[in-house]
Structure 1
Amino acid sequence: MLFAGIEDGTILVWKWDPKANIPIPTATLMGHNGAICSITIGGKNLYTGSKDHNTRDWNLETLQCVQILSGHTGDVTSLLCWDRYLLSASLDNTLKIWGETRSKIIEFVCDLKERGFLAIRGIHDVEEKPILVCLCNDSTVGLYELPSFEERGRISTRGEAKVVETGVDRLVFVGDDTGISPSADCNDSNRRMEALC
């Protein structure tokens, strides 16, 4: 399936049609009252974050909303499934950690209060320990050990940071609004980032 969140809060769903060899519109998921900011899949569930400050948990088989996770007071900008947990990042300066109970209900576990979070990603360090990569709205990228959330380091960008992605070999890519190609300074930053991870 392919999912796309749009400004009015709906999520469009397509399924691949092997006969026609194209995606076919399948469903429209409704319930959010603000633009969709983030989408992720974990296990048999789809999670969507919105400008309505909520995260919705959708069953992938039925495409029905099974739970609404409330608690943020700002846009839910990024979602990440890690182990048995769901992490939701928001512009309200918190990162919330949600855990599944035995009855399959997701409950709030704790939160990390810091800066406005724009995006979160996960990588593993050289010892295969999980590391959380957080792009913050103060143009920094924070690195935290999981599950302790102990800070491993912070990288500053040259301009306003817009996007962060992770790649193979513990690489972290950050895009900012300067539009400057990699230089010696950027290479030095990459070496510092590798040293932290």
Structure 2
Amino acid sequence: MLAERSAPPPDCPRCPRLVAYRQTLRALHHDWFNAPVPSFGPSDARLLVVGLAPGASGANRTGRPFTGDYAGVVLYPALASAGLANERFDARLDDGLELQGARITNAVRCVPPANKPTPEEIRNCRDYLRDEVSALPADGVVLALGRIAHESVLKCLGLKQALYPFVHGQVHRPPGAPRLIDTYHTSRYNMNTGRLTLAMVQAVARTIQVELTRQGSDGH
């Protein structure tokens, strides 16, 4: 049986700075989502993709993770190439996009100023991430987009960062826990600077395919 999931309410009060920013954006953009962005994808998915936080004019505007900003333009086609999406992504809620065996969430559900949540804000939102990670089946896989997502997943699993350092392309197989794959975030900055390339993203997509064909992670 999958674990129960909780989700932050539309007016989640946990982080005063994020509440103030949300209220500012609501005043400026009445037609935007402007609330904690819910996870997207089937509840029985074997792959959980964990990003950092919604972008102000991306997921915070549309209400769907990685929709409306550059990161989704890279991420969703990569998932489609691995057979985890239906290739209908057009950065709109009505584009017909469906995930197949994958689910997407963020370490922080509310948009942070300058895309930089504080350590306290990451901790405040960890209960919701923990529920998502706990709901994975025994042979589940987590894809962490960036170091903050990686570290937050480790904390959800009660694992020490020193034993599982963030390394792009690395597959961590902690005993009795989901496998964890690391990748640099698919942000415009990382793509423009060359830290992340399409070839690297495609390699990660192939790694996901390989891990999902395994019957279970080591230690299960």
TM-score, shorter chain, exceeding 0.5: no
TM-score, length-normalised on structure 1? 0.32
Bigger RCO of structures 1 and 2 (CA < 8 A, at least 6 apart): 2
Q: Which has the higher strand share?
A: 1
TM-score, length-normalised on structure 2? 0.29
